Structure 1
Amino acid sequence: MKVNRMKKLQLSEVKQIELDILKNFASFCNEHNLNYVLAYGTLLGCIRHNGFIPWDDDIDVFMLRDDYEKLLSMKNLFEGKFSKLKFKNLGDKDYPFGFLKITDDTTRVEEKEIEAKYQYGIWIDVFPLDKVSSGEKKHIKNWRKINFWNKILIKSIIKSGNIGTTIIQKKINSLLLIPVAHCVGHIIKISKKCNRLAQKFNNEETSFVSNYIWENNPRNQPVFEKERLFPAIKGFFEGVEFCIPNDSDGILKKMYGNYMQLPPESERVSHLANAWSY
């Protein structure tokens, strides 16, 4: 990426671009009767800060699988309406994830640990929620399979030497795990396998859903009653109304415990490394 012709963006500018993407996404969903809710730190920011968590710099939303697939089927319509916004989704060249990123094509983000070909414009993440089996053993077994392949996937896109917290761990990963990950198979195939596993229980009669495709702990993984998410209600994020779960308090307690308590300053870190606009 040639950054000498680009303007480096401040955190406030990154947030504004993300907010603009979210507003366009929300207006499109409203127009086409697609259900979504703010998720993770975005929902937490909405409730605790009425907007972005001050040190946070990403936006996440949930959609039930049916609405998510309908949105994907409208890719051309969406991109035609918002010309600088692009869908990055499972199956696209050099896109390894099983969830949707909506990116601003006039920007670029540099993440130090990620290989250059897997870096995109400023984005928001759209996660599909899939049904969870009512049998805990079946749920955990399926999650372990997904988590195994997700770990292989992540090791495939991270630069050698950047995985691990100690020198020994970094060397083991650099010399062994990352090369093995590259040899296991094409990352798109791995991601598609995770996606199939995530949808394994979608034909079951169950009212519980989860972000199977990206959570990393089966016992602490947030499993939600669908009725606590939808029908959504309205909440203000940066002065704009968006859809939030009807039981946001219960959802946030499940994910974060005492969510109104601020974390230690050492944990108040942002995700993005550097961002530029053309």
Structure 2
Amino acid sequence: MNLKIMKFRMKFLVLIVFIIAAFGILNVGNILYKKTNVVKVTVPEGYTYKEVGKTLQKSGLVTQEAFIKEVENWSDNNYWFLKDVPNDKHKLDGFLFPATYSFQKGATSKEIIKKMLNTFEFNMKSNKDYITENKLNIRNVVIEASLVEKEAGKDVDRTKIASVIKNRLKKKMPLQIDATIIYIVGDKKKLYNKDLAVKSPYNTYLNKGLPPSPICNPGIKSINAAVHPEKTNYIFYVLNNKTDEHVFSITYAEHIKNVAKYIK
């Protein structure tokens, strides 16, 4: 073989090896860069968008103020579940799906919100057909789910609480859900009669029907319970503090007995 050709081939092989090595180094560097520039954030079930913003600020991603501003002024309706939702500051309430997320450092509030909405859409795949076929109002489903989320201490209670909500709505009874009062007045260990009398569209003691928007961002278990509530005749429930489970009843007389037994 010609010596010149052999030298050329050797140089060519060396060049190829160098390129492959350089590509590998760049690829590894890129992977390491991405790993070191990723921020993990856990958004728990039952958080309001303001609480989500506070969590994001603590993680160092965006400020709570910037996140709230983006949420309250959201205008992207390219999601099937946002089509008929009123275009106000509560538009995204209930749809910012609780989960553990990985965001790149420098992610904007808009990028974060889109990821949360996409995660909601992904988790609703199994329910979408049922909701559409049965002509359920997705906003109302999420409102009910938010009530279940804040009221249920144990998973076993979720579908039963959802059934109480359905039964009261059918009977045109006030829902009388304490979680809606806490949403208005703030977290309190005990609610008093003056709290139950606070004038607000979210006060389910004074107003019949559902509150105007979700009171938190519910998890998939509460959403499933709202979509598929248990079939019961329950109208009342009271918390058993010893078990953290609710005791349900059909009549007011039964309920009064349960209140006397479990509320000390």
TM-score, shorter chain, exceeding 0.5: no
More helix by share: 2
- Shorter-normalised TM-score: what interval? under 0.3
Structure exhibiting the larger radius of gyration computed from Cα positions: 2
TM-score of the pair, normalised by structure 1: 0.23
More strand by share: 1
